[in-house]
Amino acid sequence: MQFATIALALGSLAGPACAQKTDVIVLDNGDHITGEVKKLASGQLQVKTDHIGTIYLDWTHIVSLTTTQRLHVELADGRQLFGPAPEPASTPGAIRLLTGEPGQTPIAVEVPITDIVQMQRIRVGEVWFDRLEGNVSLGYSYTSASSLQTADFSGAVGTRNSKREWKLSLDSETTRQSGGTSTQRDSLVLSFDAFLPDHWYRESSLQFARNEELGLDLRSQISQTGGKYFVQRQGMEWRAGAGLAASDEIGSDGLHRRSIWAQLTTDLFIFRWDHPKTNVSANLTILPSLNEGGRVRGEASLNLKHELLNDFFVQITFNDSYDNRPAENARFNDWNVVTSLGYSF
């Protein structure tokens, strides 16, 4: 009797962790997928299944979704809805949400799937590391005529939901040449994004950078920007913002510089989740100095990622750094193009 009581207690504790995957997704080709909806982000629906693991579905190919999980849904017009979707909508291509707070009489709202840009399940007690996503990539090139070697490493980890995102990224490039000097270019960035109503956002970031081509031994920078998503739809996001940044720099010439910057930034993200997956991201940041008259810095990047096999990808990245007042005898501009192989998780 005591053993049976213990077994029942353990079973009740294990129930939530081993919950049945009963969410149903219907695709435009008629396929039905049963699993556990995790989230929708960047036009891609993440679903955990019993037999084939976690899969990612192109949101544009989904015509129906039902789930008893409570969802946080963000629409293209900036509205946010909360509730489960336990029954199919009356028309294909829509989701029937039962909106309202728990304990209140729910109100049924049918939302066209094409109007949904973000979706996150609302769960309590989920282990934090289950929500992490990231990627790592490595690149190497060698030129025999000049004995020039270049090695690159890039990695990022973070998590995102309908309200916020944090991300830690590291990029490092080492260039060596026989009989010459080696140069180093590194960047470590920790960023926090808060997604506000009506497509507004707020971003805080902390960055540590080194670029020996620009005569920079170390730059520590903290920044705060705010802006708006001007395009946020299936297949593309574009945003722009402005803010302030403060930096502390140590140059290769030994000079110590403290600067306050106006920060103007824009980001573009284009993605296609049909196999093979392909996405393009671009960033441009311009920083005029507020306390060093006439000084301007700029950062630009363009990244093309193309899936080769499941979660393995080839990546081509262009980076450009500019400073019209670098350290003495240093270059004004430094750019590179990197081809690398990587893995997403």
Tens of pLDDT, residues 173-200: 998 877 767 788 999 999 999 988 888 9
Same domain (yes/no): 191, 81:
no
Q: pTM here?
A: 0.70
Domain shared by 147 and 53, yes or no:
no
Q: Is residue 284 part of a domain?
A: yes
AA identity, residue 228: K
Selection from 54-63, 120-129, 241-250, 311-320 with the highest mean pLDDT:
241-250
Non-local (6+) Cβ contacts of 75 within 8 A are 81, 111, 115, 116, 117
- Tell me the CA distances in angstroms from 73 to 26, 34, 112, 267, one per residue in order: 18, 20, 12, 23
Tens-digit pLDDT profile for residues 222-266:
999 999 999 887 778 899 999 999 999 998 888 889 999 999 999
Q: Is residue 1 part of a domain?
A: no
The verdict on 175 and 121 lying in the same domain is no
> What is the reported pLDDT for 6?
37
Q: Is residue 205 part of a domain?
A: yes
Domain that holds residue 194: 132-344
Number of domains the chain is built from: 2
Structure confidence at residue 309 (pLDDT): 79
CA 316 to chain centre: 17
Q: Do residues 269 and 300 make contact, with C-beta atoms less than 8 angstroms apart?
A: no
Q: Look at residue 9 and tell me if it is in a domain.
A: no
Query: Considering the domain boundaries, does residue 300 fall inside one?
Result: yes
Are residues 168 and 90 located together in one domain of the fold? no
**Phi, psi at residue 74, to the nearest 5°?**
-110, 130
* Residue-wise pLDDT tens digits, 10-41: 333 343 444 457 899 999 898 899 998 888 87
Same domain, 197 and 326: yes
User: Please, are residues 175 and 186 in contact by the beta-carbon 8 Å criterion?
Assistant: no
CB 187 within 8 A of CB 207: yes
Q: What is residue 132's predicted lDDT score, i.e. its pLDDT?
A: 77
Same domain for 156 and 290?
Answer: yes
Taking alpha carbons only, the member of 336, 333, 337, 338 closest to residue 214 is 333
Are residues 309 and 257 located together in one domain of the fold?
Answer: yes
CA 147/CA 57 separation, integer angstroms: 45
Where a domain ends, among 100, 127, 154? 127
- Asked if residue 5 belongs to a domain, the reply is no
SS3 235: coil
Name every residue whose Cβ is closer than 8 Å to that of residue 312 and which is 6 or more positions away in sequence: 341, 342, 343, 344
| Residue 21, both tokens | 């995957």
Q: Give the model's pLDDT for residue 201.
A: 93
Q: Confirm whether 8 is domain-assigned.
A: no
Q: 164 and 110: one domain?
A: no
